[in-house]
Amino acid sequence: MPFLTQVEQSLLQDGLTLDGLQGYLTTIHQHNIDFSDLYFQGSRHESWVLEDGIVKEGSFHIERGVGVRAINGEKTGFAYADEITPTALDAAARAARGIASAGEQHKVQAFKRQTAHKLYDSADPIAAMDEVKKIDLLKQADAYIRSLDSRIIQVVVSLSGVHEEILIAASDGTLAADIRPLVRFNCSVILEDNGKRERGSAGGGGRHDYSVFLATDDVGLPLSFEFAREAVRQAQVNVNAIDAPAGEMPVVLGSGWPGVLLHEAVGHGLEGDFNRKGSSAFSGKIGQQVASTLVTVVDDGTMENRRGSLSIDDEGVVSQKTTLIEDGILKGYMQDKLNARLMGQALPVTVAANHMLICLCRV
């Protein structure tokens, strides 16, 4: 079943239809609005925590609602409702358009249904495995960790999953939907040796269902056990480590989580709105050398099954692979529709999770 049809059946009820959404956008554009969009979201979240063989925490919650955005020049009006009904949507549309006065009406374009390459399966991880099997997965990891080193005195393993459905309809004709699974497994251990205690942790996940943690490698170990071994290895290294010497020294970054340092040091500075306002160190430097010639930075939201990848972003635009810095030369910024229009640039889009209300060009 196509995503749009599936999400329409799930999110649009009480007489709401895809074709009928144009009427609410038209209501917004009875005021002097340049652009508007509707963002529908329904998600289910769960988490399980096993500490020293005992289930210490279990949680489950549901989020559901619609956000309305109306843009006039640089001004943005937001409104949202935590129920998806014609009455709530109409009220949110009228509230959001209050950012501008009544006047010239900008035409709402006919919907063009977006199609994107599926980067992940639409399976529901929460429903795909029953609670007994989820707890058993955690207990097996707990037992395996304890078998690796008798000095381990505490084990905490956790499992979490999300199933999210989104629908975007916009005045520029965008009509798109996505179904996003997300899972994570994590383990943390404390190891004690001669009165010294040290911790190790490891984990991972992506846009899968929980079965990914049961898949075995070449030697027959499931992925959950690989995370367990890494957590124990870290604790063993830490407990035998000596104090680091003081002073400056080279730092070598590997692949994976060290990328967070790049994210913080460079990524946020390449967000379009900061550069439009001149508050970034990279403002006005497109085409200039901003880093070593050895540095190339690529924003890639198209890698299959990765937790940071999206088939479409939260403005309904198909995710892209965008080169930001190439051989040390600044090539461009991350943009959303608002900033790309205000800066007169094309749209290499990287829009962070809208979550019914906030939509910005964020890494």
Q: How confident is the model over 26-79, as pLDDT tens digits? A: 999 999 999 999 999 999 999 999 999 999 999 999 999 999 999 998 899 999
Residue 353: pLDDT band with limits 50, 70, 90: very low
CA proximity to 340, closest of 355, 320, 356, 357: 320
With a cut of 90, say whether residue 360 has pLDDT above it. Answer: no
Q: How confident is the model at residue 107 (pLDDT cuts 50, 70, 90)?
A: confident
Mean pLDDT of 236-240: 96
Rounded Cα distance between 280 and 271, Å, is 8
Question: Fold for domain 3-240?
Answer: PmbA/TldD fold (3.30.2290)
Q: What is the pLDDT of residues 253-299, one digit of tens each?
A: 887 778 888 889 888 999 988 988 999 999 999 999 999 999 999 98
Say if CB 117 and CB 310 are below 8 A apart.
no
Mean pLDDT of the chain: 90
pTM: 0.88
Q: What band does 356 get if pLDDT is binned at 50, 70 and 90?
A: very low
| Among candidate residues 152, 155, 179, 186, the one with its CA nearest the CA of residue 165 | 179
User: Could you tell me the CA-to-CA distances from 5 to 10, 18, 228, 303, 311 in Å, in that order?
Assistant: 9, 9, 41, 25, 16
Write the pLDDT tens digit of every residue in 174-188. 999 999 999 999 999
d(Cα 252, Cα 241) in Å, to the nearest integer?
18
Domain boundaries, the chain: 3-240, 259-343
How does pLDDT run across 3-19, given as a tens digit for each residue?
888 899 999 988 999 99
| Tens digit of each residue's pLDDT (9 = 90 or more) over 115-158 | 778 899 998 999 999 999 999 999 999 999 999 999 999 999 99
Residue 137 · residue 337 · CB < 8 Å: no
The residues near 309 (Cβ < 8 Å, ≥ 6 apart) are: 119, 120, 207, 300, 301, 302, 303, 319
At 308 the pLDDT is: 86
In which element (H, E) is residue 31 found? Answer: none
Task: Report the C-alpha gap between 219 and 19 in whole angstroms.
Answer: 53
Q: What is the pLDDT of residue 358?
A: 47
Confidence of residue 363 (pLDDT cuts 50, 70, 90): low
